[in-house]
Every structure is written in structure tokens, then in C-alpha cells.
A and B are shown apart, each in its own frame.
Chain A
């Protein structure tokens, strides 16, 4: 494992405080607020600690307050139901006595049944696309000194964007995008861990697709963006050390919010997960 993946996997080890109560930490140097994907993955793991043998097939989350990376996060699990076919859990993440996040999730024993899926969209293959480091290099050249190190850090998730070469070009673009991604180094064969790290990665770049028609990105001065919610449906187990295509489309922006849907395909075209997220996207009112 590289250091970045090692750090991610370590942050996913929760301490059990009580039967339904867990504590997690944010690794050093992860920026001024906690990355949403981290809280999603930690909450999912907290829920898994209370579920036996069943696999998560869906989760729904709200980001309620910005997470503070300097203090631990406490995860409280509610065992909503242990049913014949399904297990339902709710998790509330707390810092400083306040809820920062909630997740509801459902778990089911794997079974066979009806099968269909949407086709993987056509687009450039990951092997034809530049690495994220190359895409960042352009931006890092002109970035402030303190930003350079942050932007240039090694990341646990390897990402190759379809339009990496003109990512920083301003001007309106269509509200669709494709990224290939995978976990950078092997994380073993624990299927839960692959699912949890896929959930972690699914919060990356999604909101950017909602911004594309408006010629802004998260570094545009005065522009404010934040994930509001996140929903994910896991259709199939997958090996996230292999490349996956993450296809986004944004059907709507209105009222200071953008809505984005995502589909995650394995390289053989299998649809393994679907995602939906709404995010805040607005220009700060002039002082």
C-alpha cells in the first residue's frame, strides 16, 4: 500500500466505545474541513459493525454541518430493524455535541433474481487519459504557495478525467462528465472494504458536473460549493482496485443547488453502483 491508501485504510478503523457507539478520526493534513466521503465511509463501517453477513445495497446521507478535522467523530448507530430479508440501520455522526451528518442504510443477503442494466456510455478509455497529477500540474503552476503542496499530494484514489486537458478552461460546458477511478494500491480481498472505499470515492468530483454549464469551478473566486446529501445504490460487488468508469449527468440546477446523478461501471461494462447528490453551488453575495 502507498502511504495515502494506508492512511485512508487506517482512518477507516473505528474504535468501539459501546455496542452501538463508535469513534473515528481524520488523518492529518486533509484540509480545513473533513472530506464528505470520509464520513460516509466511516458511518457505513459503523453500521456494518452492527450487521452480520448481510451486504449494504443502499445508503442515504445528509451533510448537516462542516466536519472539524481536529477532533474525533462519534458515530451512534440505531438498529432500526433486523428483518427476515433486510436489515436497516441509521447512523448519526456527532462532533462538539452537534450532529454533523446522518446516514440511513439497508443490508440484504446476496441473492439471485431478475437482471438488467443500462449500457456503459461510450468515451475515452482510462489508458488514453492523463493522470490526475498531470491535470493538477497546470493549476499548480499558478496556485498560491500554500496550495501547491496540498494540490500536489498523493491521493488514495487514482482519478482520470475525460476532459482532464481542459478542466481548468473557463466557459460553459455540457452538464455531463466521465472519470475513470480506482483505489491506487491493493486493499486486500475484504469485499466490504472495496465497497466502503468506493463510497468514499463516490463523493469526489460529482458536484463539479453541476457547475460545468455555468463556467465556474471550485476554485473560482467567490464561488461556494458543498455536498448537501448523498445517496448510493450498490447493484453488484466489485473489486475497486480495478478501473471503474464514473459517468455523471446533472439534470438540474436551481435555487442555489445543483443535482447530479452518477453511474459506476466496471471496465467490462457491468453497472456496479448508482449515485445521486445535491450540492450547494452559488456565488457569495457581495459584501
Chain B
């Protein structure tokens, strides 16, 4: 799926004033729907009920695995239309059950106090290998299906500093840096840049809390899944430009890992968004008998 296809598949059908339906692209049909897709579609559903205001934060829970084979219905609650802020809540439903919820807040653009954390040092994207290219090399002897999966077009270009953990699961510090951007043009709609950034922000974040433990999603018996996702948009950005996604994990405990992310624009070092996510990370219990 290239970027254009992603933008198209995120489009929703309006069933009623506050009710929308979305689908998953056939070519992305895996075991379960990618979390970033549901975040992006739920945010778009909320935007359909908001005028002239920009999303500055969202908070989500992944409640059940999404099924790529059936549509998702998004039910929007217009919690408040206030003087400065608009609040929305969205429930995503499949087969009569909630798979996901999102709450989000929207604000009229205003000026005010400004400060931001500095962009951390990182090797420039020109000097970091493309994640997919690296995986192709590592998987050169893999079965054809696995290679075909890697060869499919991708909407987001990612370059992880030091390479992704997946294929070299040795213990590392719980800090990860990657450069990312939408691979092809998103167009000029600023909402769509924000929505695609939200889509991409669910990639790799969870991996940071796994790093100190020398495992990855490829480790037999290891189970991981995003539990929640929160995002704060500090300023508008063009996601066709390179951004640094700096990730740290302050905690793992009780079968869960907690991660914080900061997204900086490469061209001027502006902090454009912050993220927080907790994920399940545990070894499956060995079957008895």
C-alpha cells in the first residue's frame, strides 16, 4: 500500500450525522488490523463533526483485536462544543462489540507562550539505512511469501538508528530513535498530514520497552500488543518532510511496558508532537501437559 492508497483507504462513509464506516485495504489484510489505522480513521470520524478547529490531543484504548475482513463502524459522541475547545469521543465497533475508543480535543488556533525540549542528537537520516532494505538483506533466504510482504509498497518510510531490534534481539538501552516520513505526497490538507502522523506514531513505539530484555516480536512465545495510545500535537507539520521519532521507555512491569515518544521536524528541530503508549509484553505461559 503506497501513501496515496493509505489516504484513500482511510476515507470514511457517512452513515448518519455522527456515524461512519471504514474498511481495511485488502493488501494490508493481516491477522488483525494495525492499530494506527483505527487511530487515524477514528480521528477522521471526529474531524467530520468538527468545524475550523484543530486536534491538539487524543487518547485511545485498543479494546479487542480488529478484524480486517469486516468494516469498522465509528460512532461519534459530540461531548462538547465550547467557546475555545471542542471535545469528541469515538467508539469503533465490529460485530456489535467495541474494538477501540478514542477521546480527542480540538481548539481554535491561538498564539501564546512557547517553549520546547531540544531535539536530541541523532545520526542524520542520510546516514541511516532504510528499515525495509535492511530486512530484505536479512531475509534473503526467507520463504517467498515473507519476501513478497517486504517488497510491497509502504506508505511510511522508516530509518531506525542502529537498525531495528526484530532481527538482532540483543539487549539494548530502552531508547530508540528513528527517522520517518510519508513516502509519497499526502497532498496539501493539513488534517491529513496530522492523521498520517498519528497513523505512523503507533509503529515501533512499543519496541522500545522490549529492548532491554533481548526479545522481539519474532521471539517464540513472546506476546506484545498496544494497549493504549495518547498523542499531543504541539504544532502543524508537513509529514512529507523527515521527522525524528525519539522514544524512551521509563518502565516495564507486570507484563506491560510504558513508552514515551517525541516527534521533531528535521528541518528546524521543532517539537511537533508527543506520544505515550503502554503495551502488553510477556512470554506466553508454557502449556501444561
Contact = CB atoms under 8 A, between A and B. Distances in A.
Interface of A: 57-58, 60-62, 64-65, 80-81, 83, 85-86, 88, 90, 98-99, 102, 104, 106, 108, 110-118, 175, 211, 213-214, 216, 228-229, 231, 233, 235-236, 249-259, 261, 263, 271, 274, 276, 278, 280-283
Contact of B282 (A106, A114, A249, A256): A114
Interface string B252-275: 111111101010000000010010
B235 interface: yes
Contacts of B85: 228
B202 interface: no
Contact of A282 (B57, B87, B110, B274): B110
Nearest to B61: A104
A60 B59 contact: yes
A276 B107 contact: no
Given A108-B255, A116-B252, A254 B116 contact: yes
A94 B72 CA distance: 28
A60 B103 contact: yes
Contact of B114 (A61, A114, A254): A254
A89 to B, nearest CB: 10
Contact of A281 (B113, B234, B249): B113
Given A251-B116, A251-B262, A254-B114, A115 B227 contact: no
A281 B109 CA distance: 14
A252 B234 contact: yes
Interface of B: 56-57, 59-61, 63-64, 79-80, 82, 84-85, 87, 89, 97-98, 101, 103, 105, 107, 109-117, 174, 209-210, 212-213, 227-228, 230, 232, 234-235, 248-258, 260, 262, 271, 274, 276, 278, 280-283
Nearest to A98: B80
Contact of A251 (B107, B251, B274): B274
Contact of A102 (B103, B248, B281): B103
A235 B258 contact: yes
Nearest to A215: B113
B254 to A, nearest CB: 6
A27 B112 CA distance: 35
B117 A252 contact: yes
A97 to B, nearest CB: 12
B198 to A, nearest CB: 15
A58 B278 contact: yes
A157 to B, nearest CB: 23
A236 B107 CA distance: 35
A80 B281 contact: no
30 contacts: A62-B79, A62-B105, A65-B80, A80-B63, A102-B89, A102-B103, A113-B252, A113-B255, A113-B281, A116-B174, A116-B213, A116-B251, A116-B252, A118-B251, A213-B113, A233-B276, A235-B253, A235-B258, A251-B116, A251-B274, A252-B116, A254-B116, A256-B107, A257-B112, A259-B232, A261-B260, A274-B250, A274-B251, A276-B276, A280-B84
A255 B63 contact: no
B113 A258 contact: yes
Interface residues of B, dominant DSSP: strand
Contacts of B248: 118
Contact of A228 (B105, B254, B278): B105
Contacts, number: 190
Contact of B250 (A213, A228, A257, A271): A271
Contacts of B258: 233, 235, 274
A253 to B, nearest CB: 5
Contacts of B255: 108, 111-114
A255 B115 contact: no
Contact of B103 (A62, A86, A280): A62
Given A110-B254, A113-B282, A271-B250, A252 B112 contact: no
Contact of A235 (B59, B97, B101, B251): B251
A52 to B, nearest CB: 18
Contacts of B113: 211, 213-214, 216, 253-254, 256, 258, 281-282
Contacts of A263: 250
Contacts of A276: 230, 232, 274, 276
Given A113-B282, A231-B276, A252 B107 contact: no
Given A81-B64, A256-B107, A257-B56, A114 B257 contact: yes
B59 A231 contact: yes
A268 to B, nearest CB: 15
A83 B99 CA distance: 12
A257 B228 CA distance: 23
B59 to A, nearest CB: 4
Residue of B234, B235, B283 with most partner-chain A CB within 10 A: B234
B61 A88 contact: yes
